Structure 1
Amino acid sequence: MPYEQLKISTSAPVLSWANHALGSEETKMAKNVASLPFVFKHVALMPDVHLGKGALVGSVVATKEALMPAAVGVDIGCGMAAIKTPFVADQLEGKLKKIRLDLEAAIPVGFNENKDIEKSVTNWQRWADFKQLHRGVQDLQGKAMRQMGSLGGGNHFIEVCIDTENQVWLMLHSGSRNIGNVLAQCHISTAKELAKMTKTSLPDPDLAYFVAGTPEFQAYWRDLQWAQNYARVNRDVMMARFKRIVEKHLAGGKPTKALLEVNCHHNYAEKEVHFGEDVYVTRKGAVRAREEDYGIIPGSMGAKSFIVKGKGNHDSYCSCSHGAGRQMSRSKAKKHFSLDDLIEQTQGIECRKDEGVLDEIPGAYKPIDEVMNHQSDLVEVVATLKQVVCVKG
Structure 2
Amino acid sequence: MAKLKLRGKDLRNIGYPEGPVISVAITVMEQHYKHYTQEAALALLHQVLEAPASFTEDEQLSKIAGKLIVEEPTEIAINAEAVPYRVYGKEFIDEGAIRQMDYAMRLPVTVAGALMPDAHQGYGLPIGGVLAVKNAVIPYGVGVDIGCRMCLSILDIPHTQLEKQASVFKRELKAGTVFGAGAEWKPRIDDEVLEHPAFSEIGLLKHLHAKAAGQLSTSGSGNHFVEWGLVEITDAQNEFGLATGTYLGLLSHSGSRGLGAQIAGHYTKLAREICQLPREVQHLAWLGLDTEEGQEYWTAMNLAGDYASACHHQIHRRLIKAVGGTLLARVENHHNFAWKETHGGEELVVHRKGATPAGKGALGVIPGSMTAPGFIVRGRGEAASLDSASHGAGRQMSRSKATQSFTRHELTRILADHKVHLIGGGLDEAPGAYKNITEVMAAQTALVDVIGTFLPKIVRMADGVSTTTITLLLDYSTTTLPLLLDYS
Shift of 1:89: 2.2
The question of 1:124 aligning with 2:193 is answered: yes
The question of 1:278 aligning with 2:347 is answered: yes
The question of 1:203 aligning with 2:283 is answered: no
Per-residue CA deviations over 1:289-312 (Å, capped at 9, x if unaligned) read: 112111000001111111111111
Shift of 1:97: 3.2
The question of 1:220 aligning with 2:306 is answered: no
Paired residues in the alignment total 368
Q: Which residue of 2 aligns with 1:154?
A: 222
Per-residue CA deviations over 1:89-125 (Å, capped at 9, x if unaligned) read: 2122332233222222222111211111224x2x436
Contact 1:96 1:350 in 2 (8 A): no
Q: How does 1:339-354 map to 2 (within 5 A)?
A: 339-347=408-416, 348-352=419-423
Q: Which residue of 1 aligns with 2:95?
A: 24
Contact 1:324 1:365 in 2 (8 A): yes
1:144 equivalent among 212, 216, 220: 212
User: Percent identity between the aligned chains?
Assistant: 36
Separation in 1 of the partners of 2:340 and 2:428? 35
Contact 2:113 2:131 in 1 (8 A): yes
Shift of 1:137: 4.0
SS in 1 for 2:458: strand
Separation in 1 of the partners of 2:198 and 2:121? 34
Counterpart amino acid of residue 187 in structure 1: Y
SS in 2 for 1:291: coil
Shift of 1:73: 0.8
Per-residue CA deviations over 1:336-358 (Å, capped at 9, x if unaligned) read: 001111112222112137xx511
Contact 1:86 1:259 in 2 (8 A): yes
2:371 equivalent among 302, 318, 321: 302
Separation in 1 of the partners of 2:390 and 2:94? 19
SS in 2 for 1:103: helix
1:174 equivalent among 249, 254, 278: 254
Per-residue CA deviations over 1:21-45 (Å, capped at 9, x if unaligned) read: 54332222011101111111x3101
Counterpart amino acid of residue 125 in structure 2: A
Separation in 1 of the partners of 2:330 and 2:195? 22
SS in 2 for 1:118: coil
Counterpart amino acid of residue 307 in structure 2: Y
Counterpart amino acid of residue 186 in structure 1: H
SS in 1 for 2:97: helix
Q: Which residue of 2 aligns with 1:376?
A: 445
Separation in 2 of the partners of 1:10 and 1:362? 38
Counterpart amino acid of residue 10 in structure 1: E
SS in 2 for 1:227: helix
Q: How does 1:227-306 map to 2 (within 5 A)?
A: 227-247=304-324, 256=326, 258-306=327-375
Structure showing greater relative contact order (alpha-carbon pairs closer than 8 Å, 6 or more residues apart): 1
TM-score by length of 2: 0.73
Q: Which residue of 1 aligns with 2:124?
A: 54
Counterpart amino acid of residue 454 in structure 2: L
Specify the structure having the higher radius of gyration (Cα). Answer: 2
Shift of 1:202: 5.7
Per-residue CA deviations over 1:207-266 (Å, capped at 9, x if unaligned) read: 11112211111111111111111111111111111211232xxxxxxx52x222112100
The question of 1:10 aligning with 2:81 is answered: yes
Counterpart amino acid of residue 170 in structure 1: L
Structure 1 segments, 4+ long, off by >4 Å, are none
Where structure 2 has 5 or more consecutive residues not aligned to the other structure, the ranges are 1-79, 233-244, 463-488
Separation in 1 of the partners of 2:401 and 2:92? 21
1:65 equivalent among 124, 135, 147: 135
SS in 2 for 1:36: coil
1:115 equivalent among 174, 186, 190: 186
The question of 1:329 aligning with 2:329 is answered: no
TM-score by length of 1: 0.90
Separation in 1 of the partners of 2:81 and 2:405? 37
Taking only aligned residues, the RMSD between alpha carbons, in angstroms, comes to: 1.7
Separation in 2 of the partners of 1:138 and 1:25? 38
Counterpart amino acid of residue 211 in structure 2: K
Shift of 1:365: 0.2
SS in 2 for 1:87: coil
Q: Which residue of 2 aligns with 1:389?
A: 458
Separation in 1 of the partners of 2:251 and 2:402? 25
Q: Which residue of 1 aligns with 2:269?
A: 189
Separation in 2 of the partners of 1:56 and 1:287? 14
Contact 2:275 2:287 in 1 (8 A): no
Contact 1:80 1:174 in 2 (8 A): yes
Where structure 1 has 5 or more consecutive residues not aligned to the other structure, the ranges are 1-8, 248-254
Q: Which residue of 2 aligns with 1:252?
A: none
Relative to structure 1, the CA distance from residue 305 to residue 24 in structure 2 (aligned partners, 3 Å threshold; closer, same or farther) is closer
SS in 1 for 2:271: helix
Contact 1:100 1:351 in 2 (8 A): no
Contact 1:96 1:388 in 2 (8 A): no
Separation in 2 of the partners of 1:195 and 1:139? 26
